[in-house]
Amino acid sequence: MAAQFGLSRRQAQDAIRLGRVDLAGLPCLEPGHEVEPGSPLSFWPNRPRAGTPAHRLRILYEDRHVLVVDKPAGMLTLPTPARERGTLLEHAGKYLARTRGPSRHYVGIVHRLDRDTSGALLVVCSRQALRPFQLMFRAHAIERLYCALVEGQFERPRGTIDLRLVIDRGDGRRGVARAPGQGVRAVTHYEVIEKFGRSAALLACRLETGRTHQIRIHLAEIGHPVIGDPVYRPRTGPPFEVSFERQALHARTLGFVHPLSGRSILVDSPLPEDMARLTELLRRRFQATKR
């Protein structure tokens, strides 16, 4: 890094630790990592620090009652009891104060995305809208489509996973129910968009129900864990050939009939930069074929 980009050794080490260096298209956070001769290196001096999402939210759709925001990976939707700063709730409030005046604005969260899942998330910004949207999410009347990069080879181009989920599978983590009558109903429909040899695939996943961690649990259960998932990927067996800093899961599409205006709204969030780089890396490393 120092030789290729004219940096001091200290500057090169700091750039790597801050997540501003890519090795073969993916961030490398270890300054002592051994690099094969000829491996492509990229330096992005203006990239936000690794693990620190951009300070300003990207707004995908807005009206007087709702915002649909493009949540970056690494940002909590709501603070935990530890009272973290920089949550989506906080940033949404700042956006409304910046664009609609400094008075205190109502912000309501009606669904969540995991900290390391990116993509489209709906926030209500009027008390009048809270209850109607809560009821729509509980009735699964919202169209929700996710993109996931997963391990393994799929023999069928599409399928449905209908497995009930429990809060504790026996080790303190959520999982699939093992006894009849346990858990809550959870249904995920998936379609293979692109295959990367026998090693990985890009899926479109549509939620029929919206349970916590549903896609991650369902895909791991059928032998195709989301790449980079630190929780539900089985710990036995060798690691995946390509490392990734988070679960490769993105909320791509959010669609609904607006309960207050009656308009049909369909919002699309483009694949984020890190998942786009991972997709290109998988294409280069493994033979890629369309579904």
Catalytic residue positions? 114
Q: Residue 75: which of 87, 84, 90 has the closest Cα? A: 87
Q: What is the total residue count of the chain?
A: 291
CA dihedral 83, 27, 227, 182 (to 10 degrees): -10
What lies within 8 Å, CB to CB, of 290 at 6+ separation is 193, 194, 195
Token couple for 132 = 């109607």
Q: What DSSP letter does each residue of 54-82 carry, written as one string?
A: -SSPEEEEE-SSEEEEEEPTT--SS--TT
Token representation of residue 195 = 């295959």
CA 181 → CA 55, 175, 211, 220, distances in Å? 45, 14, 17, 21
Which residue carries 């899942």 as its tokens? Answer: 117
Residue with tokens 């207050």: 260
| CB neighbours of residue 54 within 10 Å | 12
Amino acid in the structure at residue 264? S
**Helix boundaries (H) for the chain:** 2-5, 9-17, 88-100, 127-138, 214-221, 273-285
Looking only at the bridges linking them, the beta strands covering 187-196 and 158-162 are antiparallel
